[in-house]
Structure 1
């Protein structure tokens, strides 16, 4: 099964005040972790985005992948068409609650050098993405 779920984005994000839910992006496409790297790159290209929220078969957020990461895997000499997103997800623990103070989330993301993290509800479902501006 391959799931792709599209969501819209708000116009801007300001991490200086409010909570994460006030400043998060809707997240763009959400895909299932059984999707191949090549198909995920095609979804990114079609959606004109540089990242995807990855969910497991139960709809739980498994992580976030970027175009740079997927391109590196695809271009690797060890890559095959059988490599699935679940095989390459590195950091399953990086996510943020929608009720976290935006400034606190920004501080943590900068310390951990994360450009974006999934925003996850109490049931582990992805609500969107919190991204730092460059």
Structure 2
């Protein structure tokens, strides 16, 4: 019979997304206008905003870059909802997910930031690629 050491004692594998997760307070509803999202991004000097649906569940995130094509026509930006844009959508990370797995998924999907949600889809925070990489590098081998 083969036994395996507890996950926490295996080299760096005990780290989870919860260990790397950071709070993020800036959110916008998916029915808000592109113009409103741009105002928030500019005034708070942010690169991205988390998007939630009308029930408060995480729907994804929108970046300044993804909004740029819509901002060339002011009338379009004022009348178009975030839900009509192409923005990062799920699946999302969850707190119990292994940090190594999350880092791999982020690298494959080319994500700099990834929302972390609970079992019901409500936002808990975000994980950044830089933070995940830093924690994994500092983990004992």
Range class of TM-score, shorter chain: 0.7 to 0.9
How far apart are 1:77 and its partner, in Å?
Answer: 9.3
Q: Compared with structure 1, are the counterparts of its residues 124 and 89 closer, same or farther at alpha carbon in structure 2 (3 Å cutoff)?
A: farther
Where does structure 1 lack aligned partners over 5 or more consecutive residues? Answer: 1-14
Q: Which has the higher helix share?
A: 2
The offset of 1:79, in angstroms, is 3.3
Match of residue 132 from structure 1: 129
Match of 1:87 among 84, 88, 92: 84
Q: Which residue of 1 aligns with 2:28?
A: 31
Question: What is the Cα-based RMSD across aligned positions, in Å?
Answer: 2.4
Q: Does 1:21 align with 2:18?
A: yes
C-alpha contact (below 8 Å) 1:64/1:89 kept by paired residues: no
Q: 2:57 pairs with 52, 60, 67, which one?
A: 60
1:33-83 per-residue CA deviation (whole Å, 9 max, x = no partner) reads 111111101111222211011001100111111111112322269934211
2:103 alignment partner in structure 1: 106
Kept in 1: contact 2:63–2:87 (CA 8 A): no
Q: 2:6 — aligned with what?
A: none
Which has the larger Rg? Answer: 2
Task: Report the TM-score when normalising by structure 2.
Answer: 0.75
Normalising by structure 1, we get a TM-score of 0.78
List 4+ stretches of structure 1 deviating above 2 A: 75-80, 89-94
Q: Quick one: distance in 2 between partners of 1:93 and 1:130?
A: 14
Q: Which runs of 5+ in 2 are unaligned?
A: 1-11, 134-141
